[in-house]
Amino acid sequence: MNIELIKQGVVLLVAGMGIVYIFLAILVLVTTIASKVIPHFAYLLPEEAPKKKPAPRADSDDTAIALAIAVARARA
């Protein structure tokens, strides 16, 4: 085996891992800063009021369901 090739591999390994580590550190830093800065601008985008669910209809589809079950049983 060529020692120079192993040395180049180790250098490439250390450089790659260093770049990834620096990127992740910057990502954590930016996320932390953003989580502290963004709440100061929350008044610009107020949260919507929760929407009320519509009341259940009195005329449900029970007859259609019963008909579908009856047809399925008749075919089986």
Which residue in this structure is represented by tokens 């800065």? 37
Whole-angstrom distance, CA of residue 35 vs CA of residue 29: 10
In the prediction, which pLDDT does 27 show? 98
pLDDT tens per residue across span 17-71: 999 999 999 999 999 999 999 988 888 888 887 788 876 665 567 788 888 899 9
pLDDT of residue 44: 84
Give the separation between CA 45 and CA 67, rounded to whole angstroms: 49
Q: What is the CA radius of gyration of the chain?
A: 31
Q: State the pLDDT at residue 21.
A: 98
